[in-house]
């Protein structure tokens, strides 16, 4: 087995996640990144049950459930709490849409800040590599 040179991909992803989390926390204080992801998925893809929403955003059931409880309590999502076997699909509320719209603008600025040290070509290459690593296919 040969020794690795340079940082491991997992270490780099963790560092990037840490930087983005800090930038996002300043940009959208009422939402965490996972909460933003859930609201954004409901906005983009429409009503979903909690199980399918978690699959859509690659989030485990327990984490998704905990986040949805908080989002429901804050009035940002509605549905999926009807007793019995038939669940009402989750939807984003008007309050959730307003918060998401504000957050999207702040996040765009945060992402621009995060990638500011890269040239346009490096940004495009970086995003292509991230897509390939995240989804296993080239864009």
5 belongs to a structural domain: no
4 belongs to a structural domain: no
Other C-beta atoms closer than 10 Å to the C-beta of 95 total 13
2 belongs to a structural domain: no
Quote the pLDDT of residue 18: 85
Quote the pLDDT of residue 139: 56
Cα–Cα distance for residue pair 41/31, rounded to 1 Å: 14
32 token code pair: 């965490």
pLDDT (mean) for 119-127: 92
Question: Does the pLDDT value for residue 108 go beyond 50?
Answer: yes
CATH label of the domain that carries residue 99 = 1.10.10.10
More reliable by pLDDT, 30 or 37: 37
To the nearest whole percent, how much of the chain has pLDDT over 90? 40
Range(s) of the domain holding residue 67: 10-134
Domain total in the chain: 1
99 belongs to a structural domain: yes
3 belongs to a structural domain: no
Question: Does the pLDDT value for residue 134 go beyond 60?
Answer: yes
Quote the pLDDT of residue 1: 44
58 belongs to a structural domain: yes
| pTM of the complete model | 0.75
Other C-beta atoms closer than 10 Å to the C-beta of 38 total 30
1 belongs to a structural domain: no
The Cα-based distances of 64 to 7, 27, 70, 105, 121 in angstroms read 31, 22, 10, 24, 35
Matching residue, tokens 């491991």? 8
Please state whether beta strands 77-78 and 91-92 pair in parallel, antiparallel, or not at all (unpaired). antiparallel
64 belongs to a structural domain: yes
Quote the pLDDT of residue 130: 86
Using an 8 Å Cβ cutoff, are 107 and 28 in contact? yes
More reliable by pLDDT, 29 or 21: 21
Question: Does the pLDDT value for residue 32 go beyond 80?
Answer: yes
More reliable by pLDDT, 26 or 112: 112
Cα–Cα distance for residue pair 51/49, rounded to 1 Å: 6
pLDDT tens digits, residue range 58-104? Answer: 999 899 989 999 999 999 999 866 655 666 799 999 999 999 988 88
């Amino acid at each position: 087995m040969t020794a690795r040179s340079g940082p491991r991909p997992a270490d780099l992803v963790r560092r990037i996640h840490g930087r983005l989390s800090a930038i996002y926390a300043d940009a959208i204080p009422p939402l965490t990144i996972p909460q933003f992801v859930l609201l954004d998925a409901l906005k983009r893809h429409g009503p979903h049950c909690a199980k399918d929403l978690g699959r859509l955003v690659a989030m485990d059931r327990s984490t998704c459930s905990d986040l949805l409880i908080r989002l429901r309590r804050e009035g940002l999502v509605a549905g999926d709490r009807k007793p019995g076997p038939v669940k009402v699909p989750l939807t984003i509320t008007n309050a959730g849409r307003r918060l998401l719209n504000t957050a999207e603008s702040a996040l765009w600025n945060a992402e621009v800040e995060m990638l500011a040290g890269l040239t346009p070509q490096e940004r495009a290459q970086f995003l292509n590599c991230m897509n390939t690593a995240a989804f296993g296919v080239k864009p």
